[in-house]
Amino acid sequence: MPPERRLVVQVPLDVAGQRLDRFLATLPDLATRSRAKSLIDGGRVLVDGTVRKAAHVLRAGERVVITVPAPEPAGVAAEALPLVVLYEDAHLLAIDKPAGMVVHPAPGARHGTVVNALLHRLGALEGVGDPERPGIVHRLDRDTSGVLLVARTPQALAGLARQFHDRTLTKRYVAIVHGVVRASSGVIDQAIGRHPRERQRMSVRTRRGRTAVTRFEVVERFPGATLLRLAPETGRTHQLRVHLAGLGHPIVADRLYGGRARRDRGAAAAALAACPRQALHAESIAFVHPATGAQVVVRAPLPADLERLLGELRRVATA
């Protein structure tokens, strides 16, 4: 494998006044702002010997040193990681993905993913979709737990993908959100698109949003929090998190969409603040089996961390 490389660039006069990340993205070895920003955030970019932020404004004559890491090896390695299997047959399986586990490898995160674990359990899965994410029909965010479907054959992959596209599957989630939701149920119908300024986030405040619909119902109310059951009718990126934040009730411990930004008060505040990850769980999924035509419903029990949070909220509510 080739070693990491060190690039040295002196800022020319015509580049003075540009942001550091914009300038780095013009270099052939980097090519994109996201790649440039990842190097900056990783402390691999020095300006006159000092680590600077992506928004640093360059001056002519500054010496920029970039340490480019060695490329990741091609392919995805099988790893003996534990998987909780909820359903399995010759065509597909469903697992209970734990919070903190990424679904498939990405640059800088090639190990410890669901795909690494699947390759160890099932073998190569050749021809079942993208070689970097074989068998993956849909995704859950890193910190969302719950039911994840995986195809074992090309036919199962196509059949499940068609149901996701046609919105004929039924997905149910549960979430603990900040604040007391007054309506017993409702529909959030707000288009979702990229945030106009923070590109890593999605938003309902966008000019080019795509249709997004989420149904919700209140399961239980607590001082300062509510347990909701959610039924997304569409599958936009971060849909549930964005919709609930837009409703004024962000998911507890959702760092990206305001779950820790709120200054909750009262006896429940400590329990909410101690939640280690966003309180969102994919509770169930119902679909038509792509080989047999039978209706299948797979459920994942609420994980221990969210059970503990609910227990503490109930204790506070009855104190």
Domain boundary among 68, 87, 117: 68
Residue 165 is predicted with a pLDDT of 92
State whether 315 and 208 are in the same domain.
yes
State whether 24 and 57 are in the same domain.
yes
Residue 125 is predicted with a pLDDT of 83
State whether 185 and 159 are in the same domain.
no
State whether 32 and 118 are in the same domain.
no
Judged against a pLDDT cut of 60, whether residue 112 lies above it is answered with: yes
Q: How confident is the model at residue 90 (pLDDT cuts 50, 70, 90)?
A: very high
Residue 124 is predicted with a pLDDT of 81
Judged against a pLDDT cut of 80, whether residue 21 lies above it is answered with: yes
State whether 157 and 255 are in the same domain.
no
Judged against a pLDDT cut of 50, whether residue 187 lies above it is answered with: yes
Residue 126 is predicted with a pLDDT of 79
**DSSP state letters, the chain:** -PPPEEEEEEPPGGGTT-BHHHHHHTSTTT-SHHHHHHHHHTT-EEETTEE--TTPBP-TT-EEEEEEPPPPPSS---------EEEE-SSEEEEEEPTT--SS-BTTB-SSSHHHHHHHHH---TTSS-TTSTTB-S---TT-EEEEEEESSHHHHHHHHHHHHHT-SEEEEEEEEES---SSEEEEE--BEE-SS-TTSEESS-SS-B--EEEEEEEEEETTEEEEEEEESS--TTHHHHHHHHTT-PBTT-TTTTTTTS---STTHHHHHT--S--EEEEEEEEE-TTT--EEEEE-PPPHHHHHHHHHHHHHHH-
State whether 198 and 261 are in the same domain.
yes
Task: Residue 212: give its domain's CATH number.
Answer: 3.30.2350.10
State whether 300 and 250 are in the same domain.
yes
Judged against a pLDDT cut of 80, whether residue 106 lies above it is answered with: no
Residue 293 is predicted with a pLDDT of 97
Task: Residue 23: give its domain's CATH number.
Answer: 3.10.290.10
Q: Is 96 a catalytic residue?
A: no
285-310: average pLDDT:
97
Judged against a pLDDT cut of 70, whether residue 47 lies above it is answered with: yes
Number of independent structural domains in the chain:
3
pLDDT tens sequence across 307-319: 999 999 999 888 7
Residue 108 is predicted with a pLDDT of 64
Residue 265 is predicted with a pLDDT of 62
**Poorest-confidence range of 40-54, 105-119, 160-174, 222-236?**
105-119
Domain boundary among 22, 41, 68: 68
State whether 153 and 171 are in the same domain.
no
Domain coverage including residue 234: 167-319
Q: How confident is the model at residue 31 (pLDDT cuts 50, 70, 90)?
A: low
169-181: average pLDDT:
96
23-39: average pLDDT:
76
Judged against a pLDDT cut of 90, whether residue 297 lies above it is answered with: yes
Domain boundary among 139, 166, 193: 166
State whether 210 and 314 are in the same domain.
yes
Better pLDDT: 202 or 239: 239
State whether 135 and 37 are in the same domain.
no
The one catalytic residue in 21, 96, 141, 143 is 141
The chain-wide mean pLDDT, for the chain, equals 89
Residue 68 is predicted with a pLDDT of 82
State whether 243 and 315 are in the same domain.
yes
State whether 53 and 86 are in the same domain.
no
